[in-house]
Structure 1
Amino acid sequence: MATVFPAQSAMSIEAPVNRAVEWLNVHYGDTLHAFSAWLLQTCLVPLESGLRALPWWLVLSLVMLIAWHATRHLGRAALLVGGMALIGAMGLWDKLMQTLALVVVATAIAVLIGIPVGIWSARSNLLRNVLTPVLDVMQTMPAFVYLIPALMFFGLGKVPAILATVIYAMPPLVRLTDVGIRQVDAEVCEAAWSFGTTRWQLLVGVQLPLARPSIMAGLNQTVMMALGLVVLASMIGARGLGEEVLDGIQTLNIGKGLQGGIGIVILAIAIDRVMQGYGVDQRTRNKRIQATKAIAEVSAGGHRDGR
């Protein structure tokens, strides 16, 4: 027989939380709706319309150029372009552009908030101690929970999906920006101070460049988490590849759901490889290039000796 917890100790946060949300909606509802309209009309709609209007061959050419510039490897760049072309061949090109626009806008907002907060946290132990439990809650709270207040404040559509994605995906960027700046060698900073460097010059010229691999890793995780939320976002009106998966679930159409899932995976891999390429610092990249050249020279010399 199941035991029952004492009824006199029962408590619930349901009523006070609902009252707080209702108060915010009553007093700031117009402001929130104005912000929703501004974000939609200024950022998301122009970007999505622009991506959907571009010829497919131009988009693939841009992907090829960006992938090659990030990885310096023609074969990998061609493979990523082939994956993107496969999404188009499955009839999902338009949905791909919608998902890409949603992820780009959400990531841009996360960067505008997350990197400054991470820099501030790196300079203040007090702020870091306050932020740590907040980021833990943001990162571990089920994503469905973020959709509830977003729906109440903004209604159905892409704006609540973007804001829920930002809240869910931003913590890794804040954490790794903080960690990257804190791990910059203190002797390097002291040397910069000895030359009369200002705090801004130290940040822009020394700390951020040296912390770039860590920041790019945080950005990479943020984008991956944003892509992981596109299926849930489709439940509240955000279209794109997530809508394809949701339709497959609702109609028990395994092929359709798998097709949308493959599109999301390919997009995630393409973004991940580009982010990883830009996250490698220049010295490491130069060492890899020199090592590759040395191996090629040794291999060529071996072939000549064999002849």
Structure 2
Amino acid sequence: MNSSIFGKFAEDVVNFLFSHFRGGFDAFSAGLGAVIKLLEDGLSAVPFIAMLVILMALALWRKGVVFAVFVGAALYVINYMGLWAQTVSTLALVVAATFFSLVIGVPLGIWGARNKRVEVILRSLLDFMQTMPAFVYLIPAVILFGLGRVPAVIATIVFAMPPVVRLTTLGIRQVREELLEAGRSFGSTDAQLLWKIQLPNALPSIMAGVNQTIMMALSMVVVASMIGAGGLGEYVLSGIQRLDIGIGFEGGLGVVLLAIILDRLTESFGVKSKKKKKKVISTPAKSAPAGNTAQT
């Protein structure tokens, strides 16, 4: 089957990049691979019991006793199935992909919120990134970076970054105009408006973007395992290749339990930010009538 002009164009672009910038891609791959390995080694060095206590304490602080018990039970089930090492590997991949998605996505979201033309360009690009099948990202990633976790993380970043860009832009645009006017009246610069007014008020929306980015990164676990990402995805893929229902179910259950834990924890930060924001906004409104009465 011959590809059309669009397919040939994409192929020519990838081949051009590979031919002329191979050294740069190799250096980038080595650096990113070292970061991922360092992260995984660090997580693997923490004993299971210590990780259990840390995550249960975090769950108790953020969500309460019921969720803390669930986290403990979920981690125990994962460890009982013998999937703790694979879970740590998957967690390292998700954390790395989420971190780089935020490093790239949040500044792009801020830029889009402050520049209408940039927002239009970003919107089209993000639509392309979200609607393109995830398997397509694997082809140029493997050609440029080889097999392993580096191309898996890069493909995951491309697939998982759009939510944080969109929701950062949305959150900043939804900041009330009177807050910005108050900041300008006190002589705030654009940078001060961004850091002291826009970002704090947009934090719930940004945290929702972080939550969605983590969930989309987890959804790439099985796809990324096809190019050597390892972790729980490789366990599920092994079950598919062998038509082994038990292995596939255990790997899928591990992904689901990890996803629930990460989803609820990241969601709790956004919810708390919303509560704080409402409290700050409602306090002056309650004190206003008292002030008017006193003047009267």
Whether the aligned pair in 1 keeps the contact of 2:204 and 2:273 (CA below 8 Å) is no
SS at match of 1:60: helix
| Post-superposition offset of 1:189 | 0.8
Conserved in 2, the CA contact under 8 Å of 1:161 and 1:233? yes
Q: Distance in 2 between matches of 1:142 and 1:265?
A: 22
1:21 correspondence with 2:19? no
Q: Which residue of 2 aligns with 1:5?
A: none
Aligned to 1:93: 84
Change (3 A) 1:139 1:204: same
How far apart are 1:283 and its partner, in Å?
Answer: 5.9
Deviation at 1:11, TM superposition (A): 4.7
Percent identity of equivalent pairs: 49
Q: Distance in 1 between matches of 2:39 and 2:14?
A: 31
Q: Does 1:242 align with 2:271?
A: no
Question: What is the deviation of 1:66?
Answer: 2.0
Match for 2:22: what amino acid?
G
Q: Structure 2 CA distance, aligned partners of 1:213 and 1:223? A: 15
Say which SS state the counterpart of residue 91 (structure 1) adopts: coil
Question: Structure 1 residues 286, 66: closer, same or farther in 2, change over 3 A?
Answer: farther
Query: How many residues get paired?
Result: 277
Tell me which residue corresponds to 2:132. 141
User: 19, 33, 48: which one pairs with 1:56?
Assistant: 48
Distance 1:286 1:149, change over 3 A: closer
Deviations 1:21-66 (A, max 9, x none): 111101101100110001111x111110111121101111111122
Could you tell me how far 1:286 is from its partner in structure 2? 9.7
Provide the rounded CA distance (Å) in 2 between the counterparts of 1:17 and 1:181: 35
The answer for unaligned runs of 5 or more in structure 2 is: 280-296
- CA 1:163–1:153 in structure 2 vs 1: closer, same or farther (change >3 Å)? same
Aligned partners of 1:60 and 1:286: how far apart in 2? Answer: 32
Give the 5 Å matches for 1:160-199.
Answer: 160-199=151-190
The answer to whether the 8 A contact 1:212-1:281 is kept is no
- Cα RMSD of the aligned pairs, angstroms, is 1.6
Contact 1:70–1:275, Cα closer than 8 Å, also in 2: no
- Rounded to whole Å, the distance in 1 between the matches of 2:109 and 2:60 is 30
Residue 263 of structure 1 aligns with which residue?
Answer: 254
> Counterpart amino acid of 2:33?
L
- Read off the aligned partner of 1:88 and give its amino acid letter: N
CA pair 220-16 structure 1, distance change in 2 beyond 3 A: same
Q: Does residue 26 of structure 2 align to residue 33 of structure 1?
A: yes
What secondary structure, in the 3-state scheme, does the structure 2 residue paired with 1:196 have?
coil
Cα distance change, pair 142–274 in 1 and its aligned pair in 2 (3 A):
same
Shift, 1:82, TM fit: 1.6
- 2-side partners of 1:282 and 1:231: how far apart? 33
Partner amino acid, structure 1, of 2:81: M
2:284 corresponding residue in structure 1: none
Runs of 4+ in 1 over 4 A off after TM superposition: 285-288
Partner of 1:107: 98
Q: Residue type of the partner of 1:33?
A: D
- 1:197 alignment partner, SS class: coil
Task: Output the amino acid matched with 1:168.
Answer: F
Letter paired with 1:153: L
1:258-290 Cα shifts (integer Å, max 9, x gaps): 1000000000000000011001144626989xx
Match of 1:216 among 175, 195, 207: 207
Query: TM-score, length-normalised on structure 1?
Result: 0.87
Amino acid in the other structure paired with 1:18:
E
Distance in 1, Cα, partners of 2:250 & 2:274: 40
Match of residue 66 from structure 1: 58
* Cα offsets for 1:193-245 (capped at 9, x unmatched): 11111212211111111111111111101000000000000000000000110
Residue 11 to residue 91, structure 1, CA distance change in 2 (3 Å): closer
Q: TM-score, normalised by structure 2?
A: 0.90
